[in-house]
Amino acid sequence: MTKEETKLIEDLYEGDGGFTIRDNSWGEGDEPQVFGRVDWTDPFAETSDEDAEDTDENSEDPLASSVVTSVEPYEKEEPSEETAEEVTTENPVFFLTKQAIADGLIELEEGEAIPEDVDLGFVYNKYVESIRPKAEQAIYQEVNQKLQSAGIKDEHLPLLQAIENGVPVDDLYVVSRYQKYANVSPDDLESDKKIDIIKEWYAERGLTDKEIKRQLEAIDINDEVDSELQEAQQFFAQTVQGFAEQQRQIAIQEQKAAEELQKKNLQIVNQVIETKEVLGDKFTDTQVKELKNYIFQRDRYINVGDQQVPASAYEEFIYRINNDLAYALRAFKRDTFREKDLEVMKEVAAEEANKDFISAYKKVQNKSSSKTSLKRDDSVDAKDQYGRTIRKTSTGGTIMEFG
Q: Cα–Cα distance between 95 and 90 in angstroms, integer?
A: 9
pLDDT at position 151 is 78
Question: For 44-152, where are the alpha helices, taking DSSP H only?
Answer: 49-58, 81-88, 92-102, 120-149
pLDDT at position 201 is 94
pLDDT at position 268 is 93
pLDDT at position 67 is 47
Helices 225-275 and 209-221: crossing angle in degrees, nearest 10, is 130
In what helix (H) or strand (E) does residue 381 lie, and over which residues does it extend?
Answer: strand 380-383
pLDDT at position 27 is 46
pLDDT at position 264 is 93
Ranges of residues in the chain with a pLDDT under 70 are: 1-89, 356-357, 360-362, 364-403
State the SS3 of 313-359: HHHHHHHHHHHCHHHHHHHHHHHHCHHHHHHHHHHHHHHHHHHHHHH
Residue type, 39: D
pLDDT, tens digit, 9 for 90 and up, residues 366-377: 665 555 554 545
β-pair partners for 400: 390
φ/ψ bin of 292: left (φ > 0), alpha (ψ from -120 to 50), beta (otherwise) = alpha
DSSP class of residue 17 equals T
